[in-house]
């Protein structure tokens, strides 16, 4: 049933709707849907792993392949939404809250060892 939903998308979904699909898949695949079912440190490490894989895709100029930049970012987002749901964190609300707080936040680029991007 989920596969049919994934193949028949006709409109954009909210993060909450995507989170619900992530959790349905987690339940179906046995990835855990409650805090007592998972190892939080492992889940965070797996998120880090997906971001690292995205970086490798980027380095190799593999933007759209099955293990490329875009797909690995998708994996990272899916894992983040899974962890948010387990902790009952409204990802969409937190992103909006962070965007709002960044409107008045100042960065001292001279004190950072990175370029403004």
Structure tokens at 51: 């971001």
pTM for the model stands at: 0.84
d(CA 91, CA 97): 10
Average pLDDT, the chain: 91
With cut-offs at 50, 70 and 90, classify the pLDDT of residue 109: confident
User: Which residues 6+ apart lie within 8 Å of 72 measured at CB?
Assistant: 50, 51, 53, 54, 56, 57
Q: What is the pLDDT of residue 18?
A: 95
- Ordered structural domains, the chain, with CATH: 13-96 (1.10.287)
Q: What's the pLDDT tens digit per position in 52-104?
A: 999 999 999 999 999 999 999 999 999 999 999 999 999 999 999 999 999 99
């Amino acid at each position: 049933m989920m596969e049919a939903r994934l193949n028949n998308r006709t409109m954009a979904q909210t993060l909450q709707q995507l989170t619900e699909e992530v959790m349905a898949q987690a339940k179906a695949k046995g990835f855990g849907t409650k805090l007592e079912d998972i190892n939080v440190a492992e889940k965070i490490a797996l998120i880090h792993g997906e971001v690292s894989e995205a970086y490798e895709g980027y380095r190799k100029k593999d933007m759209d392949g099955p293990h490329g930049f875009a797909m690995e970012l998708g994996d990272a987002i899916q894992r983040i939404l899974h962890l948010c749901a387990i902790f009952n964190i409204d990802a969409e609300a937190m992103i909006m809250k962070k965007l709002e707080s960044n409107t008045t936040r100042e960065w001292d680029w001279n004190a950072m060892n990175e370029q403004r991007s």
